[in-house]
Every structure is written in structure tokens, then in C-alpha cells.
Amino acid sequence: MPTLPRILLVDDEERFRTNLQKMLAAQGFEVTAVDSGERALEEMARQLYDVVLLDMRMPAMSGLEALAAMKKSHPDAEVIMLTGHASVDTAREIIRLGIEAFRRRDPQKVNIPDHQSVALAGFSTEAIVGALSKVDKEDPLKPLIDNIVAGNISGVCLFAGCNNVRITQDENYLVMAKELARENVLLLATGCGAGAFARHGLLTSEATNQYAGDGLKAVFTAVGQAAGLNAPLPLVLHMGSCVDNARAVQLAVAVANRLGVDVDKLPVVASAPEATTEKAVSIGTYAVAAGLPTHLGVIPPVLGSPLVAQVLTQDIKNLFGGYFIVEPDPVTASQKLLGAIRERRAGLGL
């Protein structure tokens, strides 16, 4: 499992320091607590911390002085200031220190590749149905359903979500897309994850030829030819931003209605392999509530509430049929999603 952030807590008030340390440790964080800015700087020289919680008012070195020193020695340090005496001037000073530290960041660590990729993007629900209607004008969903039933398309996976600095950028997306496509899973993508596929050439017909299983390749080639592409559809169909996931669910609902079942019976899954923001938690919960087994490559920031954690990881399946799969390893995650797809196919007698 991914490790939680290592925290350095800096506060001169012993009772507050001890209580906060206990509360954070109870949530699984590794916390080192010190009582002064000087001790904090010594600690930071000794080992790396993901986050520093820094009290503003301390007797010797103030929080602002400590922040200035930290930003000088560790420009990338994430520091959260704690104070019961906030003022606009102090906030301005903190922002100024952050901007100065940004300028001091090591440019060697910034990698903007000189590389261009081709991407065939922007498949709305209507565009996908439109392409399918070139195969069957009267009943556009029929080719999709027939190929799911025949097993040429084993299932559907919607990739959504962000990049996360804790994971080598794009890696989980790429590994999982190739693993699933090889098993004839039709891939949809929204949000920054779709950007990952665009950067690495997976929104192309060439990627379909290179990575799709035989069944998926045959279907995408037939639909691409019928739609006038003279090539297969791209390996991953980009459906918009991360708030456009309703488009994929709309398609799933249309298929479910045709089959006469609920969405939570379909071989449709979702994945946010590099999720990072709070918005991603709500989007993931939406996918689960829609009935989809939903993979997360990182632990979402929900552990602060035992009730929320329990509902999201245990109770939710009984409520909606969908559930979360938290798995950091992309190959294992692909296997788990394929397992969920096979289970649902078996449930439909396929």
C-alpha cells in the first residue's frame, strides 16, 4: 500500500503538540514532533518530511523565521502554518516567501519534453453512437451490445482522474490501458487521465493496432472504416473533462436499458489510477453510486472520518452495487478489474 505522508509537527505548546501528534498517529501518519523552529531545521537536515505543520508564534525563532529558513534550505517543502492569530500582513509575508522559494527551485528537476503527439480526441456520447450508427443505422447500440455478448469486447473501463506526484507521471494509466486493451476491454477516458493517454500516443489508431486484443481490434477497425476514418478507432476514446463522466454513464445506462438490467450488472468498471484531488473523491463516489467497481491507485483523503471510510469501503456495495478497489500496483489493479468484468459477464450468463 502507498505510505501516508511523513509529518514534522513544530509547536512550543506541549499539550497541543502531544494531542495533535496522537490524533495524526491514530490516522496512520508518521509524525515527529519538536518544540522549536531550530529543532525543526535540525530534523529537516536529518531526514525528509512530506509536510511540515509549523506554529506561527514560538518564543525564540518565530514560525515566519523558521519558514524562511526552511524555504531556503528546502524550497520544495510543503509547510502548513498553524496560528490562532492570523493577520493579512502575515498571510502576505507567507505568500512572498513561497514565491521566492519557487524561484529557487532546481530547474534540473523540471522536465518538459520536446515531444509532440497526435491525438484523436473528443468522443461525446453522440459521437460514439454516431460512429456506431454507420454500422447499424436502425439500431446503433446493436453492434456494441452484440460484440459485448460475443466477447469481442469483454467489458468497458472508464479511466478518469488526475496525476499524482506520488506516482511516476502517467505510468499507471499506460500500464493499465495496455493490460486491459490486450484483454479486449473497451477504454474510455476523461480528465487529466485522458491527457496522459494523449501525451503517449494512445488516442490513435496506431495504438489500437499495437495494443488491442484481436476482438477489440476487429470491432474498432470495422467501426472506424464505416465511420470514414480509414483506420481503427483510437485505442482510448476521449470523452471530455473529468466532469464529463456522466457521458460514459449515459452510454452505460443506454446499454443497460437495452439489456433490461441495472448498470451494476454490466461488465463496466472505472479507474482513477493516479487520483489526487478532493474532486476526484466525489467523482469516484459518483462512479461507485452509479454501480461501477471503481479502482483507485492511491488512498483517497477520507481516513480522517472513520464513518466516511467505512461507508466508502464496506457499506457502499450493498447500497449501490458499485464499490472501491484500492490497489497501487497497476498490473494487479488490472487483474482485479478484469476479475470484476468476468464476474459480471458470468452474472449475465456471458
User: For residues 38 and 244, which CB has a smaller minimum distance to ligand SF4 in the complex?
Assistant: 244
CB of 32 to ligand SF4, least distance (A): 30
Binding residues vs ligand SF4 (CB under 6 A): 161-162, 191-192, 242, 277, 279-280
CB of 274 to ligand SF4, least distance (A): 9
User: For residues 224 and 273, which CB has a smaller minimum distance to ligand SF4 in the complex?
Assistant: 273
User: For residues 43 and 244, which CB has a smaller minimum distance to ligand SF4 in the complex?
Assistant: 244
Question: Is residue 58 a contact partner of residue 16, using CB atoms and an 8 Å limit?
Answer: no
Phi, psi angles (nearest 5°) of residue 119 = -140, 135
User: For residues 243 and 346, which CB has a smaller minimum distance to ligand SF4 in the complex?
Assistant: 243
CB of 246 to ligand SF4, least distance (A): 14
CB of 293 to ligand SF4, least distance (A): 19
User: For residues 280 and 312, which CB has a smaller minimum distance to ligand SF4 in the complex?
Assistant: 280
User: For residues 73 and 241, which CB has a smaller minimum distance to ligand SF4 in the complex?
Assistant: 241
CB of 320 to ligand SF4, least distance (A): 21
- Residue 159 corresponds to which cell in the numbers above? 479511466
Q: Enumerate residues 6+ apart whose C-beta is below 8 A from 6.
A: 29, 30, 31, 32, 48, 49, 50, 51
The end-to-end CA distance of the chain, in Å, is 34
Pairing of strands 51-55, 30-34: unpaired
Q: How far apart, in whole angstroms, are the C-alpha atoms of residue 337 and residue 314?
A: 18
CB of 165 to ligand SF4, least distance (A): 11
DSSP one-letter code for 233: P
Q: How far apart, in whole angstroms, are the C-alpha atoms of residue 99 and residue 70?
A: 13
CA-closest candidate to residue 134, choices 120, 146, 149, 144:
144
User: For residues 122 and 151, which CB has a smaller minimum distance to ligand SF4 in the complex?
Assistant: 122
CB of 163 to ligand SF4, least distance (A): 7
What residue is closest to ligand SF4 based on CB?
A: 162
Q: Classify residue 99 as exposed, middle or buried by CB count within 10 Å of its CB (0-12, 13-18, 19+).
A: exposed
* Single-letter amino acid, residue 139: D
